[in-house]
Amino acid sequence: MGEIYLLLARAAIAQSIGLEYDINLDEILQKYPSLKNEGASFVTITKGASESLRGCIGSLEAYRPLYEDIILNARAAALHDPRFPALTEREYDDIKVEVSILSKPKKLEYSDIEDLKKKITPFKDGIVLKLENHQATFLPQVWEQLPSFNLFFSHLCQKAALEPNCLERHPEIYTYKVEKYKEK
């Protein structure tokens, strides 16, 4: 199925920037009916040999058919990630696409930061942090860039527009797993 997820995302990105990319969605849905089930995905676009981030948009909760979620998140990652200008045709051949399929986030009960450290599995857990009206998530892949607990969570707090030590305020923490598929 991973190849199909990547094909859907790649086609959506190409079409969103005005390139021809011929796929038969009806045929794909007939061959893989599970794509019509609700699912949550993140689409990540990287660029160049260094594979620097070029866009990443996704859904934390399943609320639409998985194929739609992948297609719409791929378009959004290419055109509407607020951290980057819209992807251009010129950049298209230099990108790689990654699709992550998310499990349902589960609330993690913890008493303090030390307890939280014991309950988190780095490199396996994706994390959602919620505090008041602030929220942010990091996919499990982010552990590769931020491998220590303190670094990971200080950046996650900042992504949520909170102070780097926001764990001291005991935010809600949810964990999820991903199935990750990446172009070679």
What fold characterizes domain 106-177? Dna Ligase; domain 1 (3.30.1490)
**Segment-wise mean pLDDT, segments of 10 residues, the chain, 184 residues:** 97 97 96 98 96 95 97 98 96 97 97 98 98 97 95 97 98 98 95
pLDDT value of residue 114? 98
pLDDT value of residue 174? 98
Please give the backbone phi and psi of residue 137, each rounded to the nearest 5 degrees, phi first. Answer: -135, 155
pLDDT value of residue 179? 97
CATH fourth-level superfamily of 2-102? Hypothetical protein ph0010; domain 1 (3.30.700.20)
pLDDT value of residue 180? 96
Model-level pTM greater than 0.85?
yes
Task: Kindly list the domain boundaries of the chain, sorted by start residue.
Answer: 2-102, 106-177
